[in-house]
Structure 1
């Protein structure tokens, strides 16, 4: 008698967030967040302005103090400083990009390899230039003179210089024209295909759901809804609130 096929085991978690709380003074910005990012997937966090999306990424990265548990590849990050998190393979591309505008594109990329400064990184630079040919063309140009889309490419490229296994992207489409947004999100898909796990924070819900495997909806610091991205894209409640349905 033949056995039924075994169910596929869920992908191992690259990141797990359990009961995360973050405060700004007396105001609780995040209240009991639970979130899981399987290895090799793109997971989106969507929500309105002020929902706590950027706070979530900064709490995971250790930029903001928080309570609860953040596990990276099964290990707690409690007490691990930001620099050590970068060295362990977590990269953050912040909402405002935080480029050094008076330094060249090349120098910004070199700074991205700071955590690996004692290791060879020339091959990583070549890989970033291959992924972003425009940065190679503008490598001697000051970062502050780049277009918005080029600055976003530079911010992502700088994060890639640290060889992240997990990349946290905060509003990569912010302020960009629709055609540039499409290019940036294609880049994010390419990162996934090259083996980088992505936690993507986006206000552009429709675009982020289109490239994601799973998604969470934040509402005033709490998870209001979660599920496979394709299912959420068809959810009537989400459509009415975020997708213009």
Structure 2
């Protein structure tokens, strides 16, 4: 990380519990401006739990700052307004509404009164959504629904976009499109925190990576170094 680059998200010694069961223990991470960071790990490792806690959906014990602001007691709406967005694993679209109405709801959550510019930006990233803008979200393909979920989050003009398993259930060609778009987002000034089971694809586009097992980070470093780790290759890359 260069001296001119500052941390956007800083998480320190985070603990997250479901009742008396601690699902995440002593986790610290950071995401800098203009950076893609990925968290890889098996199902049940705690990755989704961690993203939900950063978003404010679950309680978190520990330090969490975003753009220099203490997020520990902020409501979800305030976190969104500050520039944090989450695309959840199951997308959570309004399936009985059309594509454009779903997108406009993304701007409404942060009080954007004129989302035309944001719409243009999303349609430039995802031309297929523009073609389908009057189509009901529930009738879209899985790949198109993922594009819509990402586009809706981008309507709020986030500084940091958190993505939970964006490739889940998608055909390889669609996965390639999604990951290409994630790379383009970094170029437009949006930082990305990516949770992804497709470790090989995630490590190809990320600058840094964390490996999560049983609620803890067991490795952290550059994506290149993590990909070259023999244990990671055997467990997550199929080598």
Consecutive unaligned residues of structure 2, counting only runs of 5 or more, are: none
Is 1:198 the equivalent of 2:192?
yes
Is 1:219 the equivalent of 2:213?
yes
Give the 3 Å change call, closer, same or farther, for CA 145–31 of structure 1 in structure 2: same
- 2:76 corresponds to which residue? 82
2:109 match: secondary structure: helix
Give the 3 Å change call, closer, same or farther, for CA 177–32 of structure 1 in structure 2: same
1:113 match: secondary structure: helix
Measure how far apart 1:135 and its partner are: 0.5
Measure how far apart 1:116 and its partner are: 3.7
Give the 3 Å change call, closer, same or farther, for CA 21–81 of structure 1 in structure 2: same
- 1:4 corresponds to which residue? none
- 1:139 corresponds to which residue? 133
Query: C-alpha separation between the residues in 2 aligned to 1:195 and 1:9?
Result: 17
Query: C-alpha separation between the residues in 2 aligned to 1:134 and 1:108?
Result: 15
List per-residue Cα deviations over 1:81-125 (Å, max 9, x = no partner): 000100010011000000001110011001001134353221111
- 1:174 corresponds to which residue? 168
Query: C-alpha separation between the residues in 2 aligned to 1:10 and 1:106?
Result: 38
Is 1:239 the equivalent of 2:233?
yes
Measure how far apart 1:10 and its partner are: 6.3
**What's the TM-score, normalizing by structure 1?**
0.95
Consecutive unaligned residues of structure 1, counting only runs of 5 or more, are: 1-6
CA contact (8 A) 2:60 2:72 kept: no
CA contact (8 A) 2:112 2:156 kept: no
- Rg larger for: 1
Q: How many residues align?
A: 239
Query: C-alpha separation between the residues in 2 aligned to 1:193 and 1:118?
Result: 23
